[in-house]
């Protein structure tokens, strides 16, 4: 029977970081700014990929989808956490809690699956450059995207379906900033050993499958790069530097969160803060890393800025247009932008 029918409780209380007192406002400002940067940076990437024809390669198609996942992933958790900072008691309905749990796990796994698809894209670009266009066609890219979302759904279903079938007893206080699966599981009426095994198995499948495939891709890339000359080696490394940086940050932070949950010396508040930082870190850094380390994306930002300037200059009179043309060195053409980047 579904828990929403059999459970003696109708809602959960999200405890969050209530014990921090006045420090909550400081965290509220920090995470509000971080969430604003996450939305702004990822919206910028989505806009650039959709509007700039020079960003039509598979890598930017995957990056576009990764930005969508990052926005959903953080929107599921951070706004709920921010509202908890401003209220004495933060509640969520039982169905709403399970929906948040599903979206949180699904987006987390899908994000790693997309990073795996991007690793394969980099492998083909470096190891089979002559066949890249034939291998990375639009249908293939769409299949990889669908596969990433499907893999996320498959890994999410066992944990959330078991959680929905459980009965929950009081106290109905979730000791986290959102409906974290392990925190909600503590409120189950009965033994949760099977739930723990299923949850851990799903997490290991998600992490190890994507991790092994990414590692394999980069081992093959490393072997190929080792056979190249110095100039080709530098070019190949710059091709995958941004993706490798994002992958390293994602998996190292995930490992730190896992350790913090297993080490008893950390207080519950520290564990929650570590978990929150982990959920926001990669979406926060992704736009910055790809913008700073990618010449094409930097050039696209300049082109978008120049298009905006030209559009705002159109309603002006002819004299102003002539003056703008005389000083048009601030907005060079696309070829010049690519050279300057």
Q: Give the model confidence (pLDDT) of 75-93 as tens digits.
A: 988 888 888 788 777 888 8
Burial class (CB in 10 A: 0-12, 13-18, 19+), 105: buried
For residue 245, give the H/E element and its range: helix 230-262
Higher pLDDT, 341 or 305: 305
- For 58-62, 148-152, 314-318, which range has the lowest pLDDT when averaged over its residues? 314-318
SS3 93: strand
CA atoms of 81 and 316, how far apart (whole Å): 46
Is the confidence at residue 177, as pLDDT, over 60? yes
Q: Compute CA distances 19 → 29, 83, 85, 131, 268, whole Å.
A: 17, 16, 11, 58, 10
pLDDT classification of 206: cutoffs 50, 70, 90 = very high
Give mean pLDDT, residues 57-80. 92
Two structure tokens written together for 23: 């420090």
pLDDT classification of 22: cutoffs 50, 70, 90 = confident
Question: CB atoms < 10 A from the CB of 77, how many?
Answer: 24
pTM of the model: 0.84
Higher pLDDT, 174 or 113: 113
Question: CB atoms < 10 A from the CB of 239, how many?
Answer: 18
Q: Are 122 and 217 in contact (CB under 8 A)?
A: yes
pLDDT classification of 315: cutoffs 50, 70, 90 = low
CA atoms of 327 and 239, how far apart (whole Å): 34
Higher pLDDT, 108 or 237: 108
CA atoms of 293 and 310, how far apart (whole Å): 27
pLDDT classification of 94: cutoffs 50, 70, 90 = confident
Is the confidence at residue 329, as pLDDT, over 80? no
Give mean pLDDT, residues 300-322. 70
Burial class (CB in 10 A: 0-12, 13-18, 19+), 219: exposed
Two structure tokens written together for 326: 């005389």
- pLDDT value of position 3: 43
Q: Are 66 and 118 in contact (CB under 8 A)?
A: yes
Quote the mean pLDDT of the chain.
83
- pLDDT value of position 264: 57
Percent share of the chain, pLDDT over 90: 36
Nearby residues of 41 by Cβ (< 8 Å), 6 or more positions away: 284, 286, 287, 288, 291
Beta pairing, strands 90-93 & 173-174? unpaired
Q: List strands edge to edge, sheet with 11-14.
A: 90-93, 11-14, 173-174
* Per-residue pLDDT tens over the stretch 218-276: 999 999 998 888 888 888 888 888 888 889 888 888 777 777 666 656 666 777 777 78
Q: Compute CA distances 40 → 35, 54, 70, 126, 263, whole Å.
A: 8, 21, 12, 31, 36
For residue 174, give the H/E element and its range: strand 173-174
Is the confidence at residue 328, as pLDDT, over 70? no
- For 116-125, 135-144, 323-332, which range has the lowest pLDDT when averaged over its residues? 323-332
């Amino acid at each position: 029977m579904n828990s929403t029918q059999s459970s003696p409780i109708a809602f959960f209380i999200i405890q969050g970081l209530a014990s921090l007192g006045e420090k909550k406002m400081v965290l509220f400002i920090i995470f509000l700014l971080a969430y604003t940067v996450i939305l702004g940076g990822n919206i910028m990437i989505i806009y650039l990929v959709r509007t700039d024809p020079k960003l039509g390669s598979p890598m930017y198609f995957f990056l576009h989808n990764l930005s969508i996942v990052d926005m959903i992933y953080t929107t599921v958790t951070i706004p709920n956490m921010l509202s908890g900072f401003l209220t004495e008691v933060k509640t969520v309905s039982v169905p709403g809690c399970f929906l948040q749990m599903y979206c949180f796990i699904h987006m987390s796994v899908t994000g790693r699956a997309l990073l795996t698809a991007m690793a394969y894209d980099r492998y083909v670009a470096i190891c089979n450059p002559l066949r890249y266009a034939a291998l990375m066609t639009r249908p293939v890219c769409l299949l990889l995207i669908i596969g990433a979302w499907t893999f996320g759904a498959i890994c999410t279903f066992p944990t959330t379906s078991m959680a929905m079938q459980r009965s929950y007893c009081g106290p109905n206080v979730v000791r986290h900033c959102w409906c974290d699966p392990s925190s909600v599981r503590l409120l189950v009426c009965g033994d949760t050993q099977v739930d723990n095994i299923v949850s851990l198995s799903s997490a290991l499948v998600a992490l190890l499958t994507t991790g092994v495939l990414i590692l394999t891709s980069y081992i093959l890339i490393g072997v190929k790069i080792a056979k190249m000359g110095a100039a080709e080696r530098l070019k190949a490394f710059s091709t995958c530097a941004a993706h490798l940086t994002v992958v390293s940050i994602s998996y190292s932070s995930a490992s730190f969160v896992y350790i913090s949950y297993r080490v008893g010396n950390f207080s519950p508040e520290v564990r929650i803060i570590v978990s929150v930082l982990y959920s926001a870190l990669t979406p926060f850094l992704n736009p910055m890393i790809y913008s700073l380390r990618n010449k094409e994306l930097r050039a696209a930002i300049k082109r978008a800025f120049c298009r905006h300037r030209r559009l705002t200059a159109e309603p002006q009179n002819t004299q102003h247009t002539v003056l703008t043309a005389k000083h048009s060195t601030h907005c060079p053409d696309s070829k010049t932008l690519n050279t300057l980047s």
